[in-house]
Structure 1
């Protein structure tokens, strides 16, 4: 997997949290606000740790600035948009970000199938994402919120498909596993 692609995901996650927090305020839903406030705090800590270990600190600042400007523009739009339209439009923007973020490991599907390995795919994130999207799907059904339902049906299917790849393919390519076995003998 390309590290610069994973770096982009770091900033999308943080700004998605900000947009979801804004969406929670628009919905006046305390649960969405609390969960996304906590998620935003965790994501900020994650970016700080990512920055600490990054070899390209200037690039990190550049990406944070670009993502911050983009996020500010979307929030500015949400502030100026007609209150009757903003829920649906901001929900669509958040849905697009979510689909991009969750499906990003599948951008390397050709490589995964060719090498018959899920090496580089973030199993803990995909596994927890599957559980979380299912829980948000149930919450969306309870609220009868079409964006939460749509987002999380598609997200759950994407996560479940990615989990299925771990069942079909090992996390290490066969060549590497064989090479390690020969070295130990």
Structure 2
């Protein structure tokens, strides 16, 4: 029989890492659209900026100097940093000047924040337990923010009754990612992974329900409008 650690590693590698990789790739269609339009229109950079700082925190958390035997967390989030950075470069390039300044300010703030966290943790905390506790608490906050970030467009979706600017694949893979990492955290209880990813699974489900509601709403309206146009022609 497989040991608990072996099962946990399998979930971490096959499920967690593969689906997390899918989460990082999920915005690709959105950025292909931005590239074709040569404009960001009403797409928001907030979800991707939130994912970036979240990934940087989890890279740090998973390092042996902070949390031994959790290197899988660092590896996949390191990949996430690279992928999301490429998205932000595209977003920055096709943004108007005002949006570029906003993105740069947030990025600068994130880099300063990460430098402060790393410096203070390494210089003031000298045990794995204390380091993983502090970094874990901070990472929980930003991980919840990452899962909730697609909700930033909920107001727009409800206002326009359209899901055009709601990143479906980001919400879908976020839901699957939350479920998988929750399972990973439950096998060998890691409260810092369990809390944000459990909430992430719930938030992802809520986003999918919202998408389904307004997608069907749009489909029904489109069908009714089509019938009205046919009647007018007749």
TM-score category, normalised to shorter length: 0.7 to 0.9
Query: What is the TM-score of this pair, normalised by structure 1?
Result: 0.81
- The answer to whether the 8 Å contact 1:16/1:94 transfers is yes
Number of matched pairs = 183
In the alignment, structure 1 segments of 5+ residues that lack a partner are: none
**Number of the residue aligned with 1:94:** 139
Q: Do the aligned partners of 2:178 and 2:201 also contact (CA within 8 Å) in 1?
A: yes
Cα distance between partner residues in 2 of 1:71 and 1:180: 51
Residue number in structure 2 paired with 1:36: 77
Higher-Rg member (1/2) = 2
- State the TM-score, normalized to the length of structure 2: 0.66
Q: 1:152 to 1:73 in 2, by over 3 A?
A: same
| Root mean square deviation, CA, Å | 3.0
For structure 2, list consecutive stretches of 5 or more residues without a partner in the other structure: 1-40
In structure 2, the CA distance between the partners of 1:180 and 1:81, relative to structure 1 (3 Å rule), is farther
Match of 1:52 in 2: 93
After superposition, residues 147-162 of structure 1 pair within 5 angstroms as 147-162=192-207
> Are the equivalent residues in 2 in contact too, given 1:17–1:36 (CA < 8 A)?
yes
| Matching residue of 1:70 | 113
Other-structure match for 2:53 = 15
Q: Give, in whole Å, the separation in 2 of the partners of 1:183 and 1:60.
A: 44
Q: Which has the higher contact order (CA 8 A, sep 6+)?
A: 2
